[in-house]
Structure 1
């Protein structure tokens, strides 16, 4: 229902970057298509993977606090009477929405407040002044059944069933332990942040230093540790990659390898048509034989127009968009489909006009045998 309401709220505009990241859009401007674009064309998919992993870490932290709150309420019904005001406030005011939204600088006030609450609780718990997973019966059982460093997989960015790709229940049907949160934070640090990391992302030195100190020296693993880095990568992708992504997917429906193939095919067919046309003219062949020029000129002009406009008009009119070479998806985003149909019609009209002009010129021009 929420996804449909969002679709209805923007019938005449393109989606925003945060809507793409929150999985509130459809192909060809969905998160999966953006991931492929970042991987194959921008060559900077590590930024997106970092953002997704931090979002998953936030989801993990929220679920940990949510499960802890439920276990404490079940085992100690008189929580308000037996716990500190601080502990009671933090746990009682934590909501059940597990959807990690956009950057901390975006106006998602409820989500930002929730993340701040989770971070405050985790910092307090890390200092040993609050309830830990091992302090509750349910968490003790789950902690004994899990290995250190194990963490649930990140929700697939290819999921189109949920606007955010997150689940209300814990991944794998188990309770999250505090060791999972620590392992998640350390994995992000060792994968993306430390110099020489496997998939090191370029971040300002101050942000890198703050994250390293917070995790390695202060022992923190709460979501606020990565806030500045998450905001930085969000803004970098929104500024440098997202406009190109929209141009590629809204005004075109083929990927660069397909464009290059069409360029080669178009040049070969066009020059073959020109060569055959002059040969037939200078051999003074009749017009019904020259009609065969329709074939090379049509292929040549169509292929060159597809390369020039980044669009295969027939595929667009059929409602198809290419996300990898020779792999297609349906154009499901309504406004994108409408814009694509208009552009495809224009490209097809230009292609037919140029093709007809060339064919008529070389068919009806008088022959002269040399």
Structure 2
């Protein structure tokens, strides 16, 4: 599932007030909840997981499960709204009991992605309700093979995918229970089954337990993914997120650009040394040797950029590299402050080393061989 388009549209999320005054680096949960700004936002993290960590499937799984929860919320919210306005279809005793459960639920209009106690309790109520109301036309009612169910899930979600659903806007059409079922199956067939298209590695029997719950117990509630979602979150927090912060909060260049700068810096420095020694042994004037400032400055600047993974001039201008030759403006206040401080250090080191080399090769006495 390609999230890059949808995430790019959300590259400037609406953040709570604390995001603008946060005097620290963000946490992974804040990034995933879109509480941060570039270059430490969700879109930048997605690009990092795809291009550098090479494990974007884990992030896609986490986002799919989060969207599945959002889909379930919309479904239950629609049911609750229909109950509150008085739906004439609720005639049976089971339907009346279901309506009482829906009426007992609190306000479902708030965001689900903020990890507060009220939100967790509300999501647990939604999961309990969906477990008590098995999906119509379930697995036990239809002898479909695993391959047929996989194709059906992909077909059903191709036109009404939950990826476009967020907590801030309603879906373009009403969410049906079969959409929830298809969403759960698609997550299973895409990430969890052995040999799946984008299979992720989970600890123990997590994948097998989810497979059994979906295919044998006919479940599609979001709680069945909780263990896998927590495991993936902890894996990203432990293995990927520290590197992401180092790359985006303390630097503004990507690996291909760093390699190019290393090559350019070494070539420029080699040219500067070669020219400098030639001018010394040809006994040229110090005025002519002043031209050595140019290759020395280029070489030292590019090597310092490689060493610190930071282009200080670009950082001071407020830009960070997202992919080679694609830039984003630095909007996270604390990260901008960090990059400005590091940029000044890099410029000071560059100026000091450059000045030392230039003085050495310009003012050393010449001697014609």
TM tier, smaller: 0.7 to 0.9
Secondary structure of 1:321's aligned partner: strand
Q: Does 1:43 align with 2:54?
A: yes
Q: Does 1:6 align with 2:18?
A: yes
Q: Which residue of 2 aligns with 1:18?
A: 29
- Aligned partners of 2:352, 2:219: CA distance in 1, in Å? 66
Q: Which residue of 1 aligns with 2:261?
A: 262
Structure 1 position 193, deviation (Å): 0.3
Alpha-carbon RMSD across the aligned residues, in angstroms, is 2.3
- Aligned partners of 1:213, 1:4: CA distance in 2, in Å? 39
- Aligned partners of 1:207, 1:183: CA distance in 2, in Å? 20
Q: Which residue of 2 aligns with 1:355?
A: 354
Structure 1 position 61, deviation (Å): 0.5
Q: Does 1:34 align with 2:45?
A: yes
Structure 1 position 7, deviation (Å): 1.8
Q: Which runs of 4+ in 1 moved over 4 A?
A: 77-87, 147-150
Change (3 A) 1:212 1:168: same
1:65 pairs, out of 76, 85, 96, with: 76
Is the Cα contact below 8 Å between 2:15 and 2:34 reproduced in 1?
A: no
Q: Which residue of 2 aligns with 1:122?
A: 130
Output aligned runs, 1:305-320, within 5 Å. 305-320=304-319
Is the Cα contact below 8 Å between 2:79 and 2:102 reproduced in 1?
A: no
**Deviation string, structure 1 residues 55-94 (Cα, Å, up to 9, x no partner):** 0000000100000111122234998998645641344314
Secondary structure of 1:322's aligned partner: strand
Q: Which residue of 1 aligns with 2:247?
A: 248
Q: Does 1:302 align with 2:301?
A: yes
- Aligned partners of 2:275, 2:177: CA distance in 1, in Å? 75
Uncovered stretches (5+) of structure 2, i.e. residues with no partner: 1-12, 137-154
Structure 1 position 358, deviation (Å): 0.4
The size of the alignment, in residue pairs, is 337
Uncovered stretches (5+) of structure 1, i.e. residues with no partner: 129-146, 157-164
Q: Which residue of 2 aligns with 1:154?
A: 163
Secondary structure of 1:241's aligned partner: helix
**Deviation string, structure 1 residues 180-235 (Cα, Å, up to 9, x no partner):** 00100000000000000000011023111110000011110000110000000011
Q: Does 1:327 align with 2:290?
A: no
Structure 1 position 2, deviation (Å): 7.6
Change (3 A) 1:2 1:32: closer
Q: Which residue of 2 aligns with 1:169?
A: 170
Q: Which residue of 2 aligns with 1:275?
A: 274
Q: Does 1:111 align with 2:119?
A: yes
- Aligned partners of 1:98, 1:197: CA distance in 2, in Å? 35
Q: Which residue of 1 aligns with 2:148?
A: none
- Aligned partners of 2:366, 2:79: CA distance in 1, in Å? 89
- Aligned partners of 1:166, 1:213: CA distance in 2, in Å? 29
Is the Cα contact below 8 Å between 2:75 and 2:174 reproduced in 1?
A: yes
TM-score (norm 1): 0.86
Q: Which residue of 1 aligns with 2:230?
A: 231
Is the Cα contact below 8 Å between 2:135 and 2:181 reproduced in 1?
A: no
- Aligned partners of 1:169, 1:17: CA distance in 2, in Å? 26
- Aligned partners of 2:26, 2:175: CA distance in 1, in Å? 34
- Aligned partners of 2:133, 2:92: CA distance in 1, in Å? 20
Q: Does 1:95 align with 2:107?
A: yes
- Aligned partners of 1:127, 1:253: CA distance in 2, in Å? 49
Structure 1 position 169, deviation (Å): 1.3
Is the Cα contact below 8 Å between 2:80 and 2:99 reproduced in 1?
A: no
Change (3 A) 1:4 1:190: closer
TM-score (norm 2): 0.86
Structure 1 position 97, deviation (Å): 3.2
- Aligned partners of 1:212, 1:354: CA distance in 2, in Å? 61
- Aligned partners of 1:334, 1:38: CA distance in 2, in Å? 23
Q: Which residue of 2 aligns with 1:131?
A: none
Is the Cα contact below 8 Å between 1:253 and 1:320 reproduced in 2?
A: yes
Structure 1 position 166, deviation (Å): 3.5
- Aligned partners of 2:221, 2:161: CA distance in 1, in Å? 17
Change (3 A) 1:233 1:309: same
Change (3 A) 1:81 1:200: closer
